[in-house]
């Protein structure tokens, strides 16, 4: 297959598609869309098998299913597609320095989380990233205050009306408190955990924000990011997590890939191999597979609808040579042995013995076209069956 590469641009094309496929695989793995994609993949396999073994009814049903496939994708994955478009919109080559918090702000977040955990006071703080948060937040009270320990402790004070909601931090300001976030349905990560953790994971699944959770029952600190919920053993881990989130440790040139989970680039070799294989398959089907090719086959002739008073003695030719054209991919799973030339001899009783062989006489896949048939005429040798012979033949069949 590699020998079919025409230029270096083909290899670059495949590598770029492999990166996109791998990124989509890693991203979708953290969303509810992964199970839906598996179901669609299984249905596609069933459809290909039905096409391969000529299960016409099954193939017809699935063909109608995939005819509205794009509409289904938009309906099923509307939330995921919206996230992709939002991330593409905010992705740029510029520095992401606008996300960086002042050191005193980061320290205030860490100290507040540690104090609240020590006092077993529940809290949920969302530090925004590049993705917009507004459409995921319900309710809340607007506030434009500089992040500080007294402000955060007063908001999360159990006697405060807004202590059960989330605090939204953008740059160095608290922009909203008592906000309600979407809840995650990832029961595997949320086993034995409460609503705050579910809300933190929910916003981390939908955006690139960092959510800090303090559990009032356990007195622990957890953080949610990129669809993953992590329990932190001590406040120092939160300091490191904030630094990584703000990309203080990454070179400037790598910040353009912020929306791609960089940690997965160094692992998941099986997923990488699958992504490369899929990219090569897509390229092979849609690039060289789209080129028109011709192929010639010898096809046996079958006679059908012989009149009842006649029997077939011989016919010439017994096979024809046909030339087909179509996209190369149409020939990948093409079996020439399944081609047939069907000649209708129902008019032979009128004395007709010569029949035309047309492209319509050849049963072939719809994606390919019959360009030429040689020869184009067929001669039959028929013999009329006498009435006595026919009666004797019928008696022999009935055992009389």
In the chain, domain spans: 2-94+267-288, 97-246, 292-398
CA-to-CA distance for 315 and 317, rounded, in angstroms?
Answer: 6
45 vs 180, which has greater pLDDT? 180
Q: Given pLDDT bands bounded at 50, 70 and 90, which one contains residue 320?
A: very high
CATH topology of domain 97-246: YojJ-like (1 (3.40.1700)
- State residue 260's pLDDT score: 47
CA atoms of 368 and 221, how far apart (whole Å): 63
- Measured CA to CA, the distance from residue 218 to residue 213 in angstroms comes to 11
Question: Across the chain, what does the average pLDDT equal?
Answer: 80
Task: Look up residue 299 and give its two tokens.
Answer: 């096809």
Q: Are 181 and 202 in contact (CB under 8 A)?
A: yes
- The DSSP output letter for 172 is T
Q: Residue 264's closest CA among 27, 4, 11, 10? A: 27
Q: What angle do CA 132, 133, 137 make, to 5 degrees?
A: 155
- Tell which CATH architecture fits domain 292-398: Beta Complex (2.170)
Residues 6+ apart with CB under 8 A from 155: 162, 163, 167, 174, 177, 178
C-alpha 302: how far from chain center: 44
Q: What is the dihedral of CA 264, 265, 267, 269, to 10 degrees?
A: 120
* pLDDT band at residue 323 using 50, 70 and 90 as cut-offs: very high
In tens, the pLDDT along 350-393 reads 677 888 888 888 888 777 889 999 999 999 888 887 655 555 54
């Amino acid at each position: 297959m590699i020998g079919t590469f025409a230029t270096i641009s083909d290899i670059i094309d495949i590598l770029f598609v492999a990166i996109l496929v791998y990124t989509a695989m890693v991203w979708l793995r953290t969303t509810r869309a992964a199970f839906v994609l598996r179901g669609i993949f299984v249905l596609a396999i069933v459809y290909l098998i039905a096409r391969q073994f000529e299960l016409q009814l099954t193939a017809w049903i699935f063909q109608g299913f995939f005819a509205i496939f794009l509409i289904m994708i938009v309906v099923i994955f509307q939330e995921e597609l919206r996230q992709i478009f939002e991330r593409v919109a905010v992705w740029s080559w510029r520095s992401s320095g606008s996300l960086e918090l002042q050191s005193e702000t980061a320290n205030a977040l860490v100290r507040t989380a540690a104090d609240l955990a020590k006092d077993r006071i529940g809290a949920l703080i969302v530090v925004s990233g590049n993705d917009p948060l507004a459409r995921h937040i319900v309710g809340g009270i607007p506030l434009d205050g500089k992040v500080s320990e007294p402000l955060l402790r007063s908001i999360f004070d159990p006697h405060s009306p807004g202590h059960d909601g989330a605090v939204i931090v953008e740059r160095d300001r608290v922009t909203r408190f008592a906000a309600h976030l979407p809840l995650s349905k990832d029961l595997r990560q949320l086993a034995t955990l409460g609503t705050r953790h579910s809300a933190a994971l929910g916003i981390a699944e939908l955006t690139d924000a960092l959510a800090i959770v303090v559990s009032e029952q356990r007195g622990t600190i957890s953080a949610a990011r990129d669809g993953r919920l992590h329990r932190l053993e001590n406040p120092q881990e939160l300091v490191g997590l904030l630094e990584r989130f703000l990309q203080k440790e990454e070179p400037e040139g790598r910040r353009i890939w912020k929306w791609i989970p960089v940690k997965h680039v160094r692992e998941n070799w099986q997923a990488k191999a699958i992504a490369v294989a899929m990219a090569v398959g897509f390229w092979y089907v849609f690039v060289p597979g789209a080129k028109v090719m011709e192929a010639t086959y010898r096809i046996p002739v079958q006679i059908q609808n012989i009149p009842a008073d006649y029997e077939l003695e011989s016919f010439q030719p017994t096979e024809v040579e046909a030339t087909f054209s179509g996209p190369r991919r149409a020939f990948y799973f093409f079996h020439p042995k399944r081609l047939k030339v069907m000649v209708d001899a129902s008019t032979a009783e009128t004395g007709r013995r010569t029949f035309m062989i047309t492209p319509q006489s050849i049963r072939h896949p719809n994606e390919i076209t019959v360009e030429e048939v040689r020869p184009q005429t067929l001669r039959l040798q028929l013999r009329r069956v006498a009435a006595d012979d026919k009666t004797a033949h019928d008696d022999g069949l009935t055992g009389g």
